[in-house]
A and B are shown apart, each in its own frame.
Chain A
């Protein structure tokens, strides 16, 4: 069964450094998302992406964040200058354009980001 994959599974970085989190969505999906979950808190929406542009972003997704689909398979989240409060689990998700699962988001296993 196709699945969303994310790399790395765990990233440790120093405050102020740039990080890129990578995701490979399910191949025929057209909508892509990033969410984050700070330890012990709820999962929060960051951004949605469709047709090579951001379709919606939350107030968390400030100028330090960016997303990109550099090729036909990867979907990346970049944090330009990490802060301690960026430490969280980051989940990528993708959704098909149509079909019985059109409103169902399929999640990857997550990348745990630790900012020191």
Chain B
């Protein structure tokens, strides 16, 4: 079935460091891909999305490119801030519109 595998955490970084969280997927057809973020004590917020191959989603300095050839959607940010500390979830929607989430990656950014 459809599934998402993302890099296990936790990840601890210093402020202004470069962040990459790897995400690969298995799906039939052409799913849409998402990154959701969960800040401490809060719900899930959509961070960015891409709906077709080679699309790049971007928001708040984060980027991810839909790579069909490698079935990947890695999340990157060039310079993280303390406020980026959160759990990041990669997710996909196949044709039936039910989200499948990865396990989540906890990111902690130190000042």
- Report A's interface with B, CB cutoff 8 A: 31, 33, 35, 41-45, 48, 56, 91, 93, 95, 103-110
Contact = CB atoms under 8 A, between A and B. Distances in A.
A91 B43 contact: yes
Contacts of A104: 34, 46, 49
Interface centre among A43, A56, A93, A109 (most CB of B within 10 A): A43
A48 B97 contact: yes
24 contacts: A33-B98, A33-B99, A35-B99, A42-B89, A42-B103, A43-B44, A45-B99, A45-B100, A48-B97, A56-B96, A91-B43, A95-B97, A103-B32, A103-B51, A104-B49, A105-B99, A106-B46, A107-B36, A107-B43, A107-B44, A108-B43, A109-B42, A109-B43, A110-B44
Nearest 4 CB-CB pairings of A with B: A109-B43, A107-B44, A43-B101, A42-B103
Nearest to A89: B43
Given A103-B32, A103-B51, A103-B93, A45 B46 contact: no
B44 A31 contact: no
B102 A42 contact: yes
A43 B89 contact: yes
Interface of B is mostly: strand
A56 B43 CA distance: 23
Interface in B83-111: 89, 91, 93, 96-104
A109 B40 CA distance: 11
Contacts of A42: 89, 101-104
A94 to B, nearest CB: 12
B103 A45 contact: no
Given A48-B97, A103-B32, A103-B97, A110 B103 contact: no
Nearest to B89: A43
A57 B16 CA distance: 43
